[in-house]
Structure 1
């Protein structure tokens, strides 16, 4: 699937740069950046309620990752653009449990569960420019699941005694529908910066047994040719 992403990106760039783009003002861009991801929803709220009884020995954390891809800037009028894109995106969440008491504090013994999900995101964004370069954007996003694993890591004294990945794909939803919104700044030389929030509208699991949704905060840097 990663090879498919590269092929799609190359075809988009070639098609619109050589022909259509020159006649219609369409610009091709690339972007990449840092992501912070987590889950939200009913199941997560229940988990946080349960965590209160553990006196902080179990906690949830944002997962760190990255995203990268390509997009098109299609002018729609003065100060308005349509921006479809394709990008690889890492998502997931982290749950960490520590051994309680003085012994646990001294040994730093803990078990960490990390959901490592990989998606192909296809955002369809409407962008409006407010002043010179500054812009706001929002729109729907469809995400296709590439892989989904859970990493289990257990250790103490800063050393890992057990570390293994398990496939967790069978019951997961293969297509996730959501919304993306954010703000950015476009420089005249093509360089741009942006920050966005992605909110999943469909549950992560296919049967919605646990009502959890992806949420992603992104910071990116890009270049529009």
Structure 2
């Protein structure tokens, strides 16, 4: 599983080199002049706009439990920060700039801290995440997105805790997790991006610990360059 995560991160980094030759000056709406439009179309016939960005925000996370005892889980607040690459294909109309069409793809690499409240205290899970979001643009700046999330749980705390009379070694929870996300975002013409995403993990945290960190709401602000 580690190899899958490493491959996903490597793919994210290598895509920047592959698509660098088609990077364009992206905007929403028509160019300021006919000459600029013709120049853009002639130089970038692939109609692909590529932008890089950074993002950060807050996470609201919860957990499901398939054990016999009741941990009394409830929503906790964490954070995320990371980088992304935004690829946007096509043109809205024949005179639109490249990167205003219907389809896009957005791979990301994030550090995410998920906090979950429980009857035994707060649980904190730190992940390296690689979401790969397929984006559909009903408007040139507004997108809805869906895609897989590959993540690796790098640390968890506290080391152990008592919940409903049972001792749980939370600190032993590390490893690969697979999930999916769905959300929406809006990209302003001057670079600001805002968005919201719901994601869930399908993988149990431990071999003998049937907990899933499967309810995460992400509120994000970012900047596209």
TM-score (norm 2): 0.68
What's the secondary structure of 1:47's corresponding residue? Answer: coil
Indicate the SS of the match to 2:85.
strand
- What CA RMSD, in Å, does the superposition of the two structures yield over aligned residues? 3.2
In the other structure, the counterpart of 1:146 is 154
Aligned length: 179
The answer to whether structure 1 residue 216 and structure 2 residue 224 are counterparts is: no
In structure 2, what is the equivalent of residue 161 of structure 1?
Answer: none
Counterpart of 2:70 in 1: which secondary structure? helix
1:26 Cα deviation (Å)? 1.5
Q: Who is 1:159 aligned against? A: none
Task: Note if 1:36 corresponds to 2:38.
Answer: no
Q: How far apart in 2 are the matches of 1:168 and 1:13?
A: 36
- Give ranges in structure 2 of 5+ residues lacking alignment: 1-5, 25-43, 91-100, 162-167
**3-state SS in 2 of match to 1:113:** coil
Cα distance, 1:224 vs structure 2 = 0.9
- Which secondary structure state, in structure 2, belongs to the residue aligned with residue 82 of structure 1? strand
**Cα distance in 2 between the residues matched to 1:169 and 1:20:** 45
**2:171 & 2:109 partners in 1: Cα distance?**
22
Match of 2:114 among 88, 91, 94: 91
Q: Is the 8 A contact 1:41 1:213 kept in 2?
A: no
Distance 2:115 2:55 in 1: 21
Structure with the largest fraction of strand: 1
Distance (Å, rounded) in 1 between the aligned partners of 2:76 and 2:59: 8
Deviations 1:111-142 (A, max 9, x none): x5111110011001001112242211010000
| Counterpart contact for 2:60–2:216, Cα < 8 Å | yes
| In 2: Cα distance, 1:69 partner to 1:90 partner | 12
Residue 141 of structure 2 corresponds to residue 127 of structure 1 = no
Mean Cα deviation higher: 81-90 or 34-43 = 34-43
The unaligned stretches of length 5 or more in structure 1 are 49-58, 97-111, 154-165
- Residues 64-84 of structure 1: per-residue CA shift (max 9 Å, x gap): 110011111112432210111
Distance 1:222 1:136 in 2: 16
Change beyond 3 A, Cα 1:208–1:200: farther
Output the CA distance in 2 between the equivalents of 1:75 and 1:14.
14
**Is contact 1:118-1:145 (8 Å) kept?**
yes
**In structure 2, what is the Cα distance between the partners aligned to 1:128 and 1:208?**
40
> What do the CA deviations read for 1:8-46 (whole angstroms, capped 9, x no partner)?
8xx6797479655357521111110011111024349x6
Please report how far the alpha carbon of residue 169 of structure 1 lies from its aligned counterpart in structure 2 after TM superposition. 3.7
Q: Which residue of 2 aligns with 1:60?
A: 73
Alpha-carbon deviations, 1:178-201, whole Å to 9, x = none?
A: 001111111111111000111111
Relative to structure 1, the CA distance from residue 12 to residue 27 in structure 2 (aligned partners, 3 Å threshold; closer, same or farther) is: farther
